[in-house]
């Protein structure tokens, strides 16, 4: 979950740079806001566990 959040954040930042440079149409900002909301909703429990420090480590058994 942390990997998804980090990668999506990086892609979003890169897209915002491209939009600012005029390489990508500004309508994609709306797309990324919607997708960010969906990702946040999907991973909200994982985000809570990350903030509390209780998220399982990679390879850790349940």
Is 9 contained in some domain? yes
Work out how many domains the chain is built from and give that number.
1
Is 16 contained in some domain? yes
Is 59 contained in some domain? no
Is 57 contained in some domain? no
pLDDT on residue 1: 67
Domain that holds residue 37: 2-52
pLDDT on residue 54: 85
**CB-neighbour burial class of residue 17 (10 A; exposed 0-12, middle 13-18, buried 19+):** exposed
Is 61 contained in some domain? no
Rounded Cα distance between 57 and 6, Å, is 16
Is 60 contained in some domain? no
Is 15 contained in some domain? yes
Retrieve residue 23's tokens. 């390489």
* pLDDT tens per residue across all 62 residues of the chain: 678 888 888 888 888 898 889 998 888 888 888 888 898 899 888 888 888 988 777 777 76
pLDDT on residue 21: 93
Retrieve residue 28's tokens. 């994609």
Q: What is the DSSP letter of 53?
A: T
pLDDT on residue 51: 85
């Amino acid at each position: 979950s942390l990997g998804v959040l980090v990668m999506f954040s990086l892609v979003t930042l890169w897209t915002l740079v491209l939009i600012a440079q005029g390489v990508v149409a500004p309508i994609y900002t709306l797309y990324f806001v919607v997708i960010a909301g969906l990702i946040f909703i999907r991973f909200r429990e994982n985000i809570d566990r990350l903030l509390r420090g209780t998220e399982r480590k990679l390879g850790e058994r349940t």
